[in-house]
């Protein structure tokens, strides 16, 4: 994954020009181009606002790590290092992944007939040692990100209030949410297409 | 101005998956229409979306919103071969059912029913969940969408094989992958930035 405009999904799947998957992706040219445009908007934005490159790549590495998508996590970790992050921050991301990994989706529904489908699971709180390296703003983000990745149906206004309290503005929260949601797409496209390519 | 969480007006919380029209109430402040720049407006892609609090909230990051929307439209509306529209919508509905997004499930279950004319099967997916028996081809699409939606992914070569046995070519399988993957994007925004509400309509 580079800072140039090489297609990130192609690179992560290992799609080469002229291959069968290259031809398949070419049949959905707008989806291909705009998945890449979304990557650019979220990881190399023209107007980054208040969300720093280090925050974007730290979240990227955390999301990929939570998905068990090791190769993708390595790419975001490399971009985090390039963005000037300390070795301690990279270690804190890895520690958070180790603390927070579980299996989703789980969560609760509003009380009613669907309550019988409620499934308990981890509500992640960043561990004390990890929290010392992540600033409070990033620690709050990681707790929210974990919910978005594994149990999004537990979302509630209180989770957004925790982000506001930690210094995320409304616009910052939209960007953070798009990063996690987009990666939930990107990682699945890569996983799915890799599996398809492995079954000629 | 200090940003705050919004308290939605009094409303009826839907407690079952439904094909009925639902509202969506934001927990964060959408952009005010009269505060939107030209860039905010073009990021909506469809001008009519200015009426939607969901899209006016996402317009706070216009580049991400516009690229999201153009990705969405090609995955679901591109008519060039691959998976029929009804089954792209089925993958979206199944993903939303599994993640627990009542709002997204309502919209895409309606679309799946409209394009397939299989209202009873779509309703069975909503009522009984993703293990409902919908016939082998639909079962294969639902099971593949669900496996890809699990975190970590449970999607494997056995899903590709089952889709092929059901008559899907590789472009159609790629469409299942993209439709399910896209709703892992959409569900997370819809679920976490606001909540569904039953409409007061007839």
> Which one of A105, A120, A190 would you mutate to disrupt binding with B, by most B Cβ within 10 Å of its Cβ?
A105
- A2 confidence band (pLDDT: 50, 70, 90): very low
Q: Is A4 on the interface with B (CB under 8 A)?
A: no
Of B15, B157, B188, the CB nearest to A198: B157
Q: How many CB atoms lie within 10 A of CB B9?
A: 7
Complex prediction ipTM: 0.98
Q: How far is A97 from chain B (nearest CA, A)?
A: 13
User: Does residue A21 lie in a domain region?
Assistant: yes
Residue among A31, A103, A195 minimizing CB distance to B75: A31
| Mutation site for A-interface testing, chosen from B91, B191, B196 by largest number of A Cβ within 10 Å | B191
B40-62 pLDDT per residue, tens: 999 999 999 999 999 999 999 99
How far apart, in whole angstroms, are the C-alpha atoms of residue B111 and residue B19?
Answer: 9
* Adjacent-strand bridge partners of B23: B197
Chain A and chain B share a number of CB contacts under 8 A equal to 214
Is the pLDDT at B133 greater than 50, yes or no? Answer: yes
For A106, the token pair is 């789980």
- Whether A188 sits inside 8 A of B177 (CB atoms) is yes
Contact A149 B13 (CB under 8 A): no
pTM here is: 0.98
> Measured between CB atoms, does A188 come within 8 Å of chain B?
yes
Residue A105 CA to residue B193 CA, distance in Å, equals: 18
Does the CB of A197 have a partner CB in chain B at under 8 Å? no
Sign of CA dihedral B131, B137, B142, B147: positive
Is the model's pLDDT at A190 over the cut of 50? yes
Q: What is the pLDDT of residue A152?
A: 98
Instruction: Residue A22: list chain B partners with CB under 8 A.
Output: none
CB contact (8 A) between residue A28 and residue B178: yes
Length of chain A equals 200
CA distance B122 to chain A (A): 17
Residues 6+ apart with CB under 8 A from A65: A73, A93, A94, A97, A101
Query: Each residue of A126-174: pLDDT tens digit?
Result: 999 999 999 999 999 999 999 999 999 999 999 999 999 999 999 999 9
**pLDDT > 80? residue B76:** yes
Is the per-residue pLDDT at A4 higher than 70?
no
Q: Taking CB atoms and an 8 Å limit, are B184 and A185 in contact across chains?
A: yes
DSSP H or E stretch at residue B194: strand B194-198
Chain A residue with CA closest to B55: the answer is: A174
Q: Quick: pLDDT tens for A14-46.
A: 999 999 999 999 999 999 999 999 999 999 999
Cα–Cα distances (Å) from A124 to A70, A121, A129, A153, B114, in that order, read: 20, 9, 14, 15, 40
Cβ pair B181:A188 closer than 8 A: yes
> What's the token pair of residue A102?
């579980």
Domain harbouring A139, CATH code: 1.20.1290
Cα–Cα–Cα angle for A171, B100, A107, rounded to 5 degrees: 85
Torsion angles phi and psi, residue A39, rounded to 5: -55, -45
Residue A2 maps to a domain: no
Residue A93 tokens, joined: 């991301």
DSSP 3-state of B157: helix
- Tokens read off for B57: 């909230």
Q: Which residues of A70-79 are buried (b: 16+ CB within 10 A; e: fewer)?
A: eebbebbbeb
pLDDT of residue A5: 76
pLDDT in tens, A83-104: 999 999 999 999 999 999 999 9
Find chain A residues with C-beta within 8 A of B101's C-beta. Answer: 152-153
Q: Dump pLDDT digits (tens) for B78-94.
A: 999 999 999 999 999 99
pLDDT tier for residue A67 given thresholds of 50, 70 and 90: very high
* Residue at A101 is within a domain: yes
Percent of chain B having pLDDT more than 90? 97
Q: What is the pLDDT of residue A82?
A: 97
Question: What's the rounded Cα separation, in Å, for the pair B155 and A187?
Answer: 12
Query: Which residues, numbered 19 to 58 in chain A, qualify as contacts with chain B under a Cβ-Cβ cut-off of 8 Å?
Result: 20-21, 24-25, 27-31, 33-35, 37-38, 40-42, 45-47, 49
Domain membership of residue A130 as a residue range: 8-197
Q: Nearest 10 degrees: CA dihedral of A76, A80, A81, A84?
A: 160
SS3 label, residue B45: coil
- For residue A129, the distance in angstroms to the closest alpha carbon of chain B comes to 26
What does the block give as tokens for B195?
């909540």
Paired tokens of A195: 């599996």
| Distance (Å) from the alpha carbon of A159 to chain B's nearest alpha carbon | 9
Q: Is A153 on the interface with B (CB under 8 A)?
A: yes
d(CA A131, CA B179): 37
Q: Does A155 touch chain B (CB under 8 A)?
A: yes
Q: B64 and A178: CB-CB below 8 Å?
A: yes
Structure tokens at B128: 């009984």
Quick check: is A1 in a domain? no
Q: Does A3 reside within a domain?
A: no
Positive or negative CA dihedral for A156, A161, A167, A169? positive
Phi-psi region at B100: left, alpha or beta (left = phi > 0; alpha = psi -120 to 50): left
Task: Domain count for chain A, please give it.
Answer: 1
Residue B188 to residues B86, B102, B127, Cα–Cα distance (Å): 23, 12, 22
pLDDT confidence of residue A81? 97
B2 pLDDT above the threshold of 90: no
Strand segments (E) across chain B: 22-26, 194-198
Domains, in order of start, for chain B: 22-75+191-198 (no CATH), 83-189 (1.20.1290.10)
Residues B175 and B75: beta-carbon distance below 8 Å: yes
Q: A64: distance to nearest CA of chain B, Å?
A: 10
A contact test, residue of B67, B75, B148 with most A CBs within 10 A: B67
Does the CB of A181 have a partner CB in chain B at under 8 Å? yes
Whether A150 is covered by a domain: the verdict is yes
Task: Look at residue B202 in the predicted model and tell me its pLDDT.
Answer: 47
Residues B126, B17 contacting (CB under 8 angstroms): yes
How many residues does the structure list for chain B?
202
Average pLDDT, chain A: 96
């Amino acid at each position: 994954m580079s800072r140039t405009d090489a297609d990130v999904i192609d690179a992560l799947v290992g799609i080469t020009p002229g291959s069968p998957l290259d031809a398949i992706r070419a049949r959905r040219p707008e989806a291909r181009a705009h998945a890449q445009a979304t990557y650019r908007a979220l990881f190399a934005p023209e107007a980054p606002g208040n969300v720093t490159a280090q925050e974007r790549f730290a979240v990227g590495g955390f999301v990929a790590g939570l998905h068990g998508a090791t190769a993708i996590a390595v790419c975001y970790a490399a971009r985090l290092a390039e963005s000037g992050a300390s070795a301690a921050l990279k270690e804190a991301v890895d520690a958070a992944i180790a603390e927070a990994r579980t299996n989703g989706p789980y969560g609760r529904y509003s009380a009613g007939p669907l309550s019988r489908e409620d499934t308990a699971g981890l509500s992640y709180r960043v561990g004390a040692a990890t929290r010392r390296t992540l600033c409070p703003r990033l620690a709050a983000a990681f707790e929210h990100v974990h919910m978005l990745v594994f149990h999004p149906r537990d979302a509630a206004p209180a989770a957004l209030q925790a982000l506001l309290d930690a210094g995320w503005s409304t616009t910052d929260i939209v960007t953070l949410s798009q990063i996690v949601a987009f990666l939930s797409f990107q990682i699945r496209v890569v996983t799915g297409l890799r599996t398809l390519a492995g079954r000629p | 101005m200090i940003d705050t969480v919004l308290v939605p007006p009094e409303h009826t919380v839907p407690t079952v998956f439904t094909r009925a029209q639902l509202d969506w109430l934001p927990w964060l402040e959408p952009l005010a229409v009269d505060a939107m720049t030209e860039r905010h407006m073009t990021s909506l892609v469809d001008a009519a979306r200015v009426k939607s609090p969901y899209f006016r909230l996402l317009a706070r990051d216009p580049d991400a919103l516009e690229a999201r929307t153009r990705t969405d439209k090609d995955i679901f509306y591109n008519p060039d071969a691959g998976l029929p529209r009804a089954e792209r919508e089925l993958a979206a509905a199944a993903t939303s059912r599994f993640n627990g997004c009542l709002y997204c499930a309502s919209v895409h279950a309606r679309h799946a029913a409209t394009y397939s004319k299989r209202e009873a099967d779509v309703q069975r997916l909503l009522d009984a969940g993703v293990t409902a028996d919908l016939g082998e081809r639909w079962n294969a699409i639902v099971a593949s969408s669900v496996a890809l939606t699990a975190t970590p992914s449970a999607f494997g070569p056995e899903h590709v094989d089952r889709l092929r046995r059901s008559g899907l070519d590789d472009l159609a399988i790629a469409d299942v992958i993209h439709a399910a993957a896209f709703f892992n994007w959409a569900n997370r925004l819809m679920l976490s930035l606001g909540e569904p509400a039953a409409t007061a309509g007839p």
